Structure formats: structure tokens, C-alpha cells
Amino acid sequence: MPPPAANIQLQYEVLTGDVGLHPLSGRSQIEITGQDRGKFLQGLCTNDILALKPGLGCEAFLPNVQGKVDGYVYVFCRESSLVLDTAADQAAPLIAGLDRYHIREDVQLHDRSRSWAELLVCGPRAEVLLSDSIRQAVPQQALEHLEAELAGAAIMLRRVPFAGACGFFVACDADRLDGCSTALQQAGATPCDAAAVEIARIEAGTPLYSRDITSDNLPQEVDRNGQAISFTKGCYLGQETIARIDALGHVNRTLMGLRFCSDEVPAIGTQIVAGKKTVARVTSACWSLKLDAPLALAYVRRGHNRPGTKIASDYGEAEVIALS
């Protein structure tokens, strides 16, 4: 497979060198309200929700009783609610899973996936463009967020390093999305296709649930312990397994970057075998314009997952690299 088409390369350059814009169609958003919302979510996810103040956020896994991952979410703490943001088509199963543990708490679960929508605004000039557009300073740390107005619409501006460090989600009512998009384009943001965003996402090492993470995975396999797991919070669902892994000191595979010496991008699901053992399995892949080579997110077996390790494959030699 040759490098991406010229228009995708230009859009990628905008996303990484200027400011690009892309509608995040179909992402799942769940709003949790009620006085017991923090305590309720605290007992069902891996991160310390009770430590969040309004305007702050975190990543978290939603494990099941066996400690496997049923969800991977961004959590945004607002004055009167918590918002879970994740990949498309996850709201219904996550709400069903959370509701299973809802007994008498003052908690309400709302699927906002259709009534709310999001735009990705990304690139080194995104801060200035957004600050000028909303007439106030933008969030500075990952998952920090604020409420503002853009083109007459109420928005939630969230700093999310989804496709690079200078990335933001602009969330608003779905019927105001086009107006917000038009205003940002008039301010200088360039529309970008999903293919360009996908390259930047993989280069940033950002995993997606149902593609790079499934219910077959343990949280530590995703290798986002620092961002998504608190090892000092109180008890929560699946904690015993997660704490046991922490005490053991390792899992048998971790999500890593693989750079291939090849002209062909490996197919999703590709398995790399050494001897009779599978040592890596590809979950996402693209032609990296930063590396000028095929790049994949892949689960790499322990013993082969140290950055710099070389692995022989049908797509040429693959080098393990750290992305996040």
C-alpha cells in the first residue's frame, strides 16, 4: 500500500502543523446525574472519581467482576453531573452494565449520544483559534474542560489529546454542530477527513474501545496505568484482579506501537508468530506520515514488548516503539 493520497497528506499536515477540524460522528456520551453520582461511579471504575473537581477529568476503565475491560472512557466532572465520553455504539451496553449495580443510590443515567455531538479541533494553532472564538482562555491540562459560547451555542470545550497533544473536543447540542463548525472554519480551521484523523490518532497512541480494547483485555494490558488507574483508591468492581496484577508486576501482553520496514500496511487482526507462539496482534494500522512507514497499535507479548525490540514478520521487520 502506498502512502495516503495527497489530500489526506495535506489534511494531516493541517492537523499536526496548523489547526484541523473533524466531526466525531457517533461518539457515545453518557451523563450521570444525582447526588450519589460520584460515589456510584467510584465503585465501578479504575480511577479516583471523588478526587475530581468541576472542570477536571480523567481516563478510566470500567471493569467487570473478573477485572476485564467492559469500557474505556473519558470522565468529565461538571457542577451537577459526570459525563462519560467514549467510542461509538458503547452507550447502551455501558448504561446496562452500570444500571446492574444501581440499587437505591440517587443516580440517573442519561444517553446523550444523539442529543449531543462533538467536533475535534486539533493542531498547534488550536489554542489560539479557540481562545479567540470563545473569548476566554482554553483548558491547559489533559481532560480539563469548561463551558462557553460559540456562534451563539452553549458548548463544552474539552482538552483531549485524542490525535495529538494540542487537541480539543467541542461538544454541543447536535442541532448546533453545523453552526459551530462553520464558525470555526471561518476563524481558520480546515476540515479534515476521518483518514487523516486516524493517522494522527494511531501516531498519538490513542486506543479505541471495540477496536484496540475489548472485554478480552485486562486494564494493565492497555498500558495506560498512569492515566486511567488509581492504585490507592478504595474498593471497586474487579479491583482484586487488577491489584493482583499490580503486585505481580506485569501482564503477558501490552498495547504498543509497531513500526514496519515494509511498503504495505498490515491488516487489522494480523498476528505475528515467532516459533509456534503469537508474539503480536495488530489492532489498528496506518501509513504513518511522521515515520514514513507502516505503523500499528498491537498487543505485544511480554519478552518482546520492550521499545527497540525487533520482530520478524510477513510485513518486514517490525520495531516496537512507545507511543503514549
- Distance between start and end Cα atoms, the chain: 26
Per-residue pLDDT tens over the stretch 257-277 = 999 999 999 999 999 998 889
Same domain, 183 and 321: no
Going by C-beta distance under 8 Å and a sequence separation of 6 or more, which residues neighbour residue 142?
A: 57, 159, 160, 161, 227
Same domain, 291 and 192: no
Same domain, 41 and 135: yes
Query: Average pLDDT for residues 101-125, to the nearest whole number?
Result: 97
The total number of structural domains in the chain stands at 2
In a domain, residue 219? The reply is no
Same domain, 27 and 94: yes
Per-residue pLDDT tens over the stretch 210-231 = 999 999 999 999 999 999 999 9
Cβ atoms < 10 Å from Cβ of 254: 17
Per-residue pLDDT tens over the stretch 248-257 = 888 999 999 9
Q: Which three cell numbers stand for residue 319?
A: 520495531
Question: Max Cα separation, the chain?
Answer: 61
Q: What's the pLDDT band for 2 if we cut at 50, 70, 90?
A: low
Same domain, 40 and 118: yes
Q: Percentage of residues in the chain with pLDDT exceeding 90? A: 94
CA 91, CA 74: separation in Å to the nearest integer? 13
Please state the pTM of the whole predicted model.
0.96
**What values do phi and psi take at 192, rounded to 5?**
-130, 145
- Cα separations (Å) of 137 from 129, 145, 152, 157, 161? 11, 11, 18, 11, 18
- The SS3 assignment for 176 reads helix
CA 20, CA 191: separation in Å to the nearest integer? 6
Domain that holds residue 310: 252-324
**What values do phi and psi take at 134, rounded to 5?**
-105, -5
Per-residue pLDDT tens over the stretch 291-323 = 999 999 999 999 999 999 999 998 999 999 998
Same domain, 179 and 316: no
**Which of 50, 93, 100 is closest to 75 using CA atoms?**
50
| Residues recorded for the chain | 324
Q: Which amino acid is at 209?
A: Y
